[in-house]
A and B are shown apart, each in its own frame.
Chain A
């Protein structure tokens, strides 16, 4: 089973700042089957990135995904007030899918 470790656990930032979230895998992720989600309290997780770097439909271009192998990054180029949320990474390239524990981005 591939373990995904997200860091940091919590980030305290201000609107307008650039954010870099890390997701590290215990083994190489197959064919970049790596996704990022945003979740706000009481809401369904919102798919931001799939295939490590492809933005999902309707996702603003301030969100960007990169990385390969075992190291992946979600970058938010300029934080908007609505971006304060919990972010999860997920790998779905192995026979057992796994999620990271989440990073909370707070004001």
Chain B
């Protein structure tokens, strides 16, 4: 059974760095073709893709957020970590991690992060 679970702070102050962890099971990020990505959704707004990392360490970022994002994988711990620098209240959103394997997708349940003083 494939599962993904997001974890991280629920509240961060503006300008701080946000670090989110996706812990997964049921697949390996060492397997060819497998990737784990991050997507977010501000309250009441549309979905926005952030980044993805693949089995071969290929990393892709949203062009509009590229300068603020970093994604890494820890294959031994079955985790993917996303960091976002210089947070702002507009970064308040539910953050989801997602498995990409071939044409298949599987999402985690998401974690709500509020950026506020």
Chief secondary structure at chain B's binding surface: strand
A50 and B104 contacting across the interface, CB-CB below 8 Å: yes
Interface size on A, residues (CB 8 A): 23
- Which stretch, B9-17, B23-31, B42-50, B67-75, touches the partner chain A? B42-50
Find out whether the CB atom of A44 lies under 8 angstroms from the CB atom of B63.
Answer: no
Q: Tell whether, in the assembled complex, residue B103 and residue A33 are in contact, meaning their CB atoms are under 8 Å apart.
A: yes
A45 engages B107 (CB within 8 Å): yes
Chain A: residues with CB nearer than 8 A to chain B? 1, 31-33, 35, 37, 44-45, 47, 50-52, 54, 88, 90, 92, 95-99, 101-102
Pairwise interchain contact A97-B37, C-beta atoms closer than 8 A: yes
Q: Are B62 and A35 in contact (CB under 8 A)?
A: no
Tell me the nearest residue of chain B to A57, going by C-beta: B106
Asked if residues A99 and B47 are in contact (CB atoms below 8 Å), the reply is yes
Q: Which residue of A lies closest to B103 (CB)?
A: A51
A sample of 30 cross-chain residue pairs with beta-carbon separation below 8 angstroms, ordered by A number, consists of A33-B103, A35-B105, A37-B47, A44-B107, A44-B109, A44-B110, A45-B47, A45-B96, A47-B105, A47-B106, A50-B104, A50-B105, A51-B102, A51-B103, A51-B104, A88-B46, A88-B47, A90-B47, A92-B37, A92-B100, A92-B105, A95-B60, A96-B49, A96-B62, A96-B63, A97-B37, A97-B49, A97-B60, A98-B49, A99-B46
